A and B are shown apart, each in its own frame.
Chain A
């Protein structure tokens, strides 16, 4: 069974641009969460989707958004990029809401210059 797949693995963008990251969960998993990892702030929760609906949202500005498709694949978008958005973005999938075990992808390393 394939694991959680995140694309692209690396990305370099310029300040002010926007970016879209993709996450394909493990087959059969319907819940997808996104986390931002930085050296200063550590791992912070962005949002979670289940059945194409956002279930939870972390404390991030509106420039950060996401969505989930009917096949459970998820995308997150960051508009008007800032230098501080440089981070490792991790996606995690769970079988469903209420399941505690989360499986993570290898992340997308975003660098904003």
Chain B
């Protein structure tokens, strides 16, 4: 079974600074997908960024980028120029190739401080 570990329950960052959230996972699969989801107080999970394991290039979406280390089974999220609206729970998630469900980590609560 796949597992996803987020070792930082809570983090804080000053507005406009950069923060990195950590995620490690365990799998014997070679083809899979990794995701970062954001859950603000409104409770709706929002997809932040996605990475296909077969792609060596790290995914980026505006201020969000990942550092994907396949051999180390590590998938960290970097948020640049942090904004107050980035305050939320962030979940790292794993999906095997094929029709399989998402496996989530326990989440990191990020607070952006003005």
Residues of A within 8 A of B (CB): 3, 33, 35, 42-43, 45, 48, 50, 55-56, 58, 88, 90, 92, 97-98, 100-107, 109
Contacts and interface: CB of A to CB of B under 8 A. Distances in A.
Contact of A90 (B45, B47, B98): B45
A45 B102 contact: yes
Given A56-B99, A56-B100, 14 more contacts: A33-B102, A45-B103, A58-B101, A92-B102, A100-B33, A100-B50, A101-B47, A104-B37, A104-B45, A104-B46, A106-B42, A106-B43, A106-B44, A107-B44
Interface of B: 33, 35, 37, 42-47, 50, 91, 95, 98-107
A98 to B, nearest CB: 6
Contact of B101 (A33, A88, A98): A33
Contacts of A105: 44
